[in-house]
Structure formats: structure tokens, C-alpha cells
Amino acid sequence: MRAANVGVSCHDGAVLLADVVAASAAVGATRARTAKTATLAALLRRAAGPEIEPATAWLAGEPRQSRLGAGWRTLTRLDVPPAAEPGLQVTAVDAALDELAATTGAGSTARRTELLEALFGAATADEQAFLVRLITGELRQGALEGVMLEAVAAAAEVPAATVRRAFMLSGRLPATARLALTEGVAGLDAVRLEVGRPVRPMLASPAETLDAALAELAPDVSVEFKLDGARIQVHRDGAEVHVWTRTLREITPAVPELVELVRGLPCRSVVLDGETLALQDDGRPRPFQDTMSRFGAAAGELLLRPFFFDCLHLDGADLLDEPLHVRLDALSRVAGGHRMPGALRPSQEEAADLLERALEAGHEGVMVKSLDAPYAAGRRGRAWQKVKPVHTLDLVVLGAEWGYGRRTGSLSNIHLGARDPDGGEPVMVGKTFKGMTDELLAWQTSTFPGLAREDDGHVVLLRPELVVEIELDGVQRSPRYPGGVALRFARVLRYRPDKTPAEADTIDAVRALLH
């Protein structure tokens, strides 16, 4: 990289990488949500147009560019003396990362090394450490997303609800911040559902029992099967079809059977929310891993079947703000043959029968949904409640212990953390080695070293990137862990590659099981 491309000199008022590093450190040093929000908002107020998006992305824990082509191996080979004084501008660093992301083809490895050496040579020691964590993904603090949205609202002096809605519809936090800070409420209000651009999915809260969910939401409810499948969002505009996962990762090329099915629906344009899964010959669901394996490969003999449960747009009409019963009417018109099994306004006995049939068919349980509720994109509220016969939690894997006995040489006992809703590090709530097959042990042993933060020969501490679904009998108060609670009889059900740590259950959700 030519030194001029790095842009170490700064003009008056420019936001420096050092400013972002200091704000990130201050946020990480406090557990107070108000203090985090104030620190982030103060920095964002200083940011000018082209500085807003990269600064927002970095403070949320990831680069603005989706793929940089540089990992731990490349970065650990760098041996570049740090700069004595901070001078790197945010815009210059972002431009360097753009160039890094665009470097492909013959000679790209050497070119990436050249680019990184120039960038790191202009960075102080603290900035170098920050860049390593940012580029490798270790800085990711997806749980900070909610705090970032509050900070954007505070910095731009606009309602937080307006910022949140624009973000959920665009799916892009940096772009939402730029709109808020440069165009205010008018710019945010102009964000609409756009066919071909995914929206954040509406999420459900756990219900203690079916009776409890019905008592809160009935009688105007829909009760539907809750499948052991993968969430999908499908957009069609004419003959063009796109399919995304719950994390908004596009999988269209991997699911041609879903594309063909949606292309044949009786409409011009549609946005559908649902689940997909692979079925056995007897109609029972195949293991969740079988379904997920299709998302990274071309279609083979294992075909996916969709089950849609919501319609967010149909033939030019946006339905997000319409009550669920209106959206379900639209869903019946366009995809009635592919609807999730369920019943409208069932009696308590009918709902209990539906739950029993779902479980007998090999599914997880049922969903109870208010028919009067709009689609709250990206929100986890009480309008949708999931009813499952056993307690499960999606937790972050923080580490693993080397096994002994028949598990000697395997990474076995995993350390589990719940998400801190205020953006801090995951809070440890327990360990487990139960429920692990030999195949899963082999996978953990081969995968975990690549995510290691530290290995003392007994415990391998991991970067918080993996989510695992845990079945448990409950929780109990415990001074052993920082959250004050511990899991009881925890067992591994499966890993969740369809979820990020930002979607793991919070420490508040774990504590709620005390009651």
C-alpha cells in the first residue's frame, strides 16, 4: 500500500481511529447501559458524513465490509512496529479496508500483506490490537446492537422507535445511523419494506405453559406448529426470487426447489416468512443438521419443504403494520397449500390437541400468536409466544475442557454463557458434557482450536462466536457464576449455525426460569 493511501494526517474535527478505540474501551469497561449509550452518542455526534458508517460498524463490533480475506494466520505473521502517535483517520482506515476487501486473484495474498503492513505501520499499539480484533471477528459485540440504536437516536435527537424501525426494515445499522444523523426523522421515515431487501424477523418469547400463553393472548389467537426447522424469508418480484436465513444470509443458490415453488405462486410480488426443513419418508422431520447442511451446498437428493406462517407484502401492498389476521388472509390467498399447520381461535381443548399432534409428529411444540398484533420486525415481544414441553436455551460457548477417561484427547465439557443485554461479555451460567455424541466430540475437538483465545492445557477459552441449544430441567441460584444462577441438568441438543451470539438468550431470560 502506498503510504498516501493510509492517510495518517488529519484535518480539524476529523474522527480518528484512536477516538473509536477509546470509545470502544470505555463501553467495554462499564456495565451501565446509560453510560455506554452516552459514550457512543458523544462519538457519533462528532462524526461527519463519510465517517458515520464505518465508526458505527466498528463500535458495533464488525467491519463495514463483509469479507476482508484476512484471518488470524495472516495477521499473526505481521511484524510491524506501531506508530508512536495516533493519526489514522476513520475514513482512511475504511478506505484501506475497502481496498483489502477488493483484493482478489493472482498475487492477492502478497498484496493483502502489503496493504495490512502499511495500515498497521500507521497504527499505534492500541490501534493495532483493535484492528486485529475487528478484522478477525473477535471484537464482535452483536448484543451491543440495541445500545447502538439508542446511541444513534440520542446523537441525532430523534425518537428511538423511529431509528429502530428504520433499522429493522433496512437491516443495515451503519446506513441507519447515517440517515439519522444526516437526514433526521424524515430520512428514517422514508425507509420502507423493499421487495428484494430482507427485514429483521419478528421473534417469539418463551411461554411457561400453553395455558399461560392462552390466558395472556386468547381468544383472538392463532396456534401453529413449531417446527424443528430453519427460519427463512422469501422475496419474489416477478420471476426474481431470493431466500434468506434468519441472520439475513442469502442462500438462494442452495435452495432451487424453494425458488421454483415460490416462482409458481399466484402473485406478482410477495414477501413470506416461514420455516423450511427436510422430511423423512414417513413425514417426520429429519435432524436439524440435515436441513442446515443444505444451506451451504447445492441441491442433492435431500429436498427442503417450506411451511409459511406470515405474509409481509403481496402484489404491491405492504402488510407489516396490518394485524396478523389480515396477513394470514393474504397468506392463504397466495400460499394456502404451504401454510404452517395450525388453527385460528381454538378452544383450550383444541389448542392442547394441536400441541399433542405437533409433538407426536416429531416437532418442538406450538406457537401462540395474537391475531391483532402487527409484524414487529426484529423485536422479541409477547405477541408471539413459543410453547415447548422442555426448557431450552440458546447459549454462547465460552470454552471447553480437555476430556479424560474415554474422552481423553477430546474437547468435551463446554462452558456456557448467556448474552448480556447491555452489550458486555456473555455471562457464564454453567457447564455440560452431556448429550454429546462421538461425532460431536470430534467436531468440537477439530473446530474449537481455531476459535481459541487461550489454551492452558486444561481449558480452551473461545471467542464468543458459537451458539448451542441446551436442554435443561431448570435453573437454581448459585454464587459460583457471575450471573448468580446456574443451569440444572444441562444437555446439548445441537449447535445453531443459523444463530449469532446476538440472538442467544439473555441472562435475564435465564434468571426468569427461577420463577
CB-CB neighbours of 511 under 10 Å: 17
pLDDT of residue 302: 80
Pairwise CA distance, residues 90 & 43, whole Å: 12
pLDDT, residue 6, reads 58
Residue 495 gets the label, from left (phi > 0), alpha (psi -120 to 50) or beta, of beta
Q: Length of the chain in residues, anyone?
A: 515
Buried b (16+ CB within 10 A) or exposed e, 37-76: bbbbbebbeebeeebbbbbbbbbbbbbbbeebbbebebbe
Cis ω for the linkage preceding 86 (within 30 of 0): no
- Give residue for cell 407484502: 313
From the list 226, 388, 431, 499, the catalytic residue is 226
In this prediction, residue 296 carries a pLDDT of: 66
> Mean pLDDT per segment of 10 residues, for the chain of length 515 residues?
44 84 91 91 95 95 82 80 94 94 84 91 95 81 77 96 92 94 97 94 90 95 94 97 93 94 97 94 82 69 91 97 97 97 96 95 94 88 90 94 87 95 89 92 95 91 95 89 91 92 92 82
* The pLDDT value given to residue 104: 82
Distances (CA, A) of 494 to 7, 245, 292, 455: 47, 18, 11, 24
- pLDDT at site 448: 96
What is residue 131's predicted lDDT score, i.e. its pLDDT? 93
> What span, in angstroms and rounded, lies between the C-alpha atoms of 489 and 507?
18
Please give the span between the terminal C-alpha atoms of the chain, in angstroms, as a whole number. 59
DSSP state of 200: P
* Residue 110 CB coordination number (10 Å): 10
* Closest-CA residue to 187 (of 198, 177, 195, 197): 177
Which helix (H) or strand (E) segment holds residue 272: the answer is strand 269-278
Dist. CA 366–CA 424, nearest whole Å: 32
**469 grid coordinates:** 441449544
Strand order in the sheet with 203-206: 203-206, 380-387, 365-370, 221-226, 342-344
What is the bridge-based pairing of β-strands 203-206 and 380-387? parallel
Give the closest residue to 167 by CA, choosing from 157, 178, 182, 156.
Answer: 178
Strands 459-462 and 452-455: antiparallel
> What pLDDT, on the 0 to 100 scale, is given for residue 357?
95
Q: Is the Cβ–Cβ distance between 226 and 233 less than 8 Å?
A: no
pLDDT of residue 300: 58
State yes or no: is 388 an active-site residue. no
